[in-house]
Amino acid sequence: MSQVSYLRYFPYDEPYDHQREAMAKIYDALDEPSDILFEGATGTGKTLASLTPALEYARETDKTVVITTNVHQQMRQFRRDASAIAQTEDIRAVVFRGKGSMCHIDVGYEECQALRDTTRDLVDTEEEQAELERKQRELLDSSQGGDGGAAEARASVMDELESVEEELADFSDRATCDHYYRNLTVDTTDFFAWLYEDVRTPDEIYEYAHERGLCGYELLKEGIEDVDLVVCNYHHLLDPMIREQFFRWLGRDPEDVIAIFDEAHNIENAARDHARRTLTENTLQSALDELSGVDDPRAENAANVIETFLTALRAAYNDAFDFGERQRVDENWYDLAIDNTEKRDDLTLAFLQAYAGPGYETELDRAVELGTELDQRYEKQYKNGETSVRKECQSRQAAEFIEAWLAESAHTGTYPVVSVRRSERGSDGEQSETEEATGSLSDTVETTGTDAKADDIYGRAELYTCIPSEVTRELFDDLHASVLMSATLRPFDVTEDVLGLEDPEQMAYGAQFPEERRRTYAVDGPALFASKRDEEPVQQTITETLEETIRFTPGNTLLFFPSYAEAERYCERVDVGTPYLDEPGSSAKELRQRFAEDGDGVLFTSLWGTLGEGVSYDGDDARTVVVVGVPYPHLDERMEAVQDAYNTTFGEDERVERTRRGEGDAGWRYAVEIPTVRKTRQALGRVVRSPEDFGARVLLDARYTERGEKEMADYAVRGTFPPEERAEVIDVEPEKLKFGLLNFYTDLDAWDGKPPTP
C-alpha cells in the first residue's frame, strides 16, 4: 500500500504542504522503526500530521495507536479530531480516563478490586447454581421416564446444589458492587454499539452507564481491546504499574503500541512526578500501631526496623532546622536539605547510628514478608464480609519504602529529601498520581498515627528522581515507536539526552501564519534579576512600559510574570485597563473566561501557573502578550540536585559544548535555562492562533535583546531561542515600544475608531 493512502485518515479537505511533508517523514520513521521528535509552532497541525500516518501504519501492521497528553483542553481536542476521522473512516477510538473520576460508588482502587473479585465470584456461583438446577431438572425428567441411573445421578447433583446454595448464602455478608454485577449479568451489546458509533467522552460514558446501573469504567476497560486509537492521560504510559495494566486491557504488548505524546516538553517533569516515592511519619506510626496487634514473631523484627526509621526521620528533620525555620512551617510541605556530597544522607546516617538488632537487611526481609501476608489477609477479610472496608497494610508500605531508601538513596540521580508540614486536618489529604489514574492509594496517601495532634509538625521522607531517563528510557525502548510533539521541543539533543532516546528522527516547523500579522519585540529595559526587582526605578520603568503596551493594544492584554507575587505587585501598580489577577487557588478557567469576554482586559498571571500553557486565547480573547523578565523557577535544593545530576551525567558530552553558549554548565542549561525559555515560548504562543488572527508578543527584559547578548553573555537568553524565532525579534527601547505597537495595529486596521495618540 502506498504511503499516500494514509490520507484516508485525514478528515479535512487537504493538508498543508508542511503537513504532507511531516506525514511522509513520520510514516517512514515508524517503518524503520524510529522515535520522532516533532516541533511545530501553533497552527502547524501536529496532531493530524502525527495521527494520520500512525493510524495507517498501525492498520497495516496490526498495532494500536495511543495519543496522550497532560492537558485537559488537548484531550478534548483529540476527541474531536478522532471523531472527525471516524466520520470518514471506519476506526474504533476511545477516550480513557482514570477510575477515580469514573467510579459510581466512589471507592479506592484496592477496595474496588476486592469488590470486583467478590462480585465476579458471586456471579460465577449463581451461574453454577443455575447450571446445577438445569441438570437436576433434566435428571428428574429422565428418572420419571424410567431411567434407573438418572435418580442416582440426580442425588449427586442435589448434593452439589446444596453446597453451592450454602456458598451463595455466605455472599449475603460480603460486600459486592451492584454496578459491576449488572455488567456481568445483563446484555451490554447496546452499550458497545453506542460506544463505537462515535468517539465518546468519559463523562458521556459515565452518564450512559449510570442511567442503566452499569459500571462504565469496567465496560470501557473491556471495550478498549482491539481498538485502533486510545486517547489517555500521561500517567497511563509514564507510571510503570499503570502502564502494565493499561497494555493488558489493550490486549497489546508494548512493541505493538505506537505512542504519540502531546506537549512532550512536559514529559521530563511528569516522569519525575511518577518516579517519586514518599513515606510520612504518620504512616510509620500507623504501621507500628498495626504491628502491635499482630501475633507473629516477625512483627518484632518489623517493628524494630520501622521504629528505628521513624526515630531517625524525626531526628533528621529536627537537626536540619535553622534558627527560626521551624516557625515558618505551615500546612504545605517544606523541604529540608539532608543530602551530603561526601557521605550518606543525614536520615540514613541517623538510622544506621540508631539501629540495634540482628541486621536491618534481615529484619526488613521479614517485615516485607509479613506485610505481604497481612495485606493478603485484609483482602480475604474484606471479600468474606468480615470487614466493611478494605484495610491498607501500613507495615508493608513502610517496610518496602525503607528497603528502597536504604538501597537507592545514594544512587546518582536520586535525591533523598525530608519535608515537613503542620497537620491541621489530621491527615495528609494528598492524592497520588496513581490514584488519579486508577483510584488506588499509594505511599503519598497517608493515614494519621495515634500520636498525631492538630498543628503538630510531622515529616516525610522522599526519594526524588532527578534524571527522567531512568523512568522513560525503558518505555521508549519497549514501544514500537513514539512521536513526541510540541511547539517548544528544541533543542532536540537536550530532549534526546534527558528522556533517553536513541537517534530519533527530528523535524521542526516554524510559524505557518502570515508574518505580517504578528510582531515580536524585545524591550531593552532593565534586566530583571531577582536582586533588582525591588528597586523603585526598575519598577517604574516596567510599570510605564506595561501601561503604554496596554494603551496601544486594541483589545485584551496578557501579562506573564516570574511569579504570582510579581503579578500581584504590578496589578496594584498598573492603572490602565480592567485588571484580572490570577491567584493560587482561584478558578483559572472562570478567570480566563471573564478576561476573554472583556474588550479592554489585562490579565496578570504567573508564567509557571495554569494559564500560560495549553490554553488558547483565540481572536479577540487576547491581542498582545508580554513576558516580563526571564522567569526562572525558584532555585531550591531540589533544583540544585537536578542541576548536579545533569552536570554529572551530561557535562562531558561533546554535544553540550557544541550547543551551549558561553561557559555555562550542562546542569544549568538542561535543568533551568532551557525549561525557562520553553515556558517563555509557550507563553508567546498564546496569541496568533490562526491564519486570520493577529497580535504582538513582547519580551520585557534586556536579556532578550542583541545588546544583552553582547554585554551580558553569561545571563542573556536570546541565543537559546530557535534561529527563525530570533530572526523575527525586533529590539526596541521602552519608550519606543508604543510607536511599534501603534504602527503594527494601524497597518492591520485593528482600531475600533481613532487610535490612541502617543
Q: What angle do CA 627, 631, 637 make, to 5 degrees?
A: 170
Query: pLDDT (tens digit, 9 = 90+) per residue, 584-594?
Result: 888 888 999 99
Q: How many CB atoms lie within 10 A of CB 314?
A: 18
Average pLDDT, the chain: 90
Phi-psi region of 219 (alpha: psi -120 to 50; beta: other; left: phi over 0): alpha
Closest Cα partner for 31 from 357, 531, 487, 505?
Answer: 505
Q: What are phi and psi of 519, to 5 degrees?
A: -135, 140
Query: pLDDT (tens digit, 9 = 90+) per residue, 190-246?
Result: 999 999 999 999 999 999 999 999 999 999 998 888 899 999 999 999 998 899 999
In order of 99, 377, 444, 592, the CA distances from 440 in angstroms are 9, 18, 11, 33
pTM of the model: 0.89
Residue that wins the pLDDT comparison between 110 and 126: 126
Contact 415, 645 (CB under 8 A): yes
In order of 372, 385, 408, the CA distances from 460 in angstroms are 23, 34, 17
Lowest mean pLDDT segment, chosen from 149-153, 270-274, 393-397, 651-655: 651-655
Cα dihedral value 210, 213, 216, 219, nearest 10: -160
Query: pLDDT (tens digit, 9 = 90+) per residue, 460-515?
Result: 999 999 999 988 999 999 999 999 999 999 999 999 999 999 999 999 999 888 99
Query: pLDDT (tens digit, 9 = 90+) per residue, 399-413?
Result: 999 999 999 999 988
In order of 106, 115, 121, 277, 439, the CA distances from 99 in angstroms are 9, 14, 21, 21, 5
Query: pLDDT (tens digit, 9 = 90+) per residue, 344-400?
Result: 999 999 999 999 999 999 999 999 999 999 999 998 888 888 887 888 999 999 999
Query: pLDDT (tens digit, 9 = 90+) per residue, 132-154?
Result: 999 999 998 998 888 878 888 99
Based on the number of CB atoms within 10 Å of its own CB, is 153 exposed (0-12), middle (13-18) or buried (19 or more)? middle
Closest Cα partner for 91 from 197, 250, 231?
Answer: 197
pLDDT average, residue stretch 564-572: 97
Share in percent of the chain as helix, strand, coil (round to 5): 55, 15, 35
Write down the H helix ranges in 14-88: 17-31, 46-61, 72-88
Q: Confidence class of residue 597 from pLDDT cuts 50, 70 and 90?
A: very high
Longest dimension (CA), the chain: 111
Cell numbers at 635, concatenated = 532555585
Name 731's bridge partners: 522
Please tell me the predicted confidence (pLDDT) of residue 445.
33
Cell numbers at 456, concatenated = 503538630
Q: Confidence class of residue 424 from pLDDT cuts 50, 70 and 90?
A: low
Give residue 105's Cα distance to chain centre: 25
pLDDT average, residue stretch 680-693: 92
Contact 171, 123 (CB under 8 A): no
pLDDT average, residue stretch 510-524: 94
Half-sphere exposure of 3 (CA within 13 A, CB side): 12
Write down the H helix ranges in 514-578: 536-551, 564-573
Contact 657, 624 (CB under 8 A): no
In three-state form (DSSP H/G/I as H, E/B as E, the rest C), the secondary structure along 364-414 is HHHHHHHHHHHHHHHHHHHHCCCCCCCCCCHHHHHHHHHHHHHHHCCCCCE
Q: How many CB atoms lie within 10 A of CB 212?
A: 15
Cell numbers at 273, concatenated = 512526578
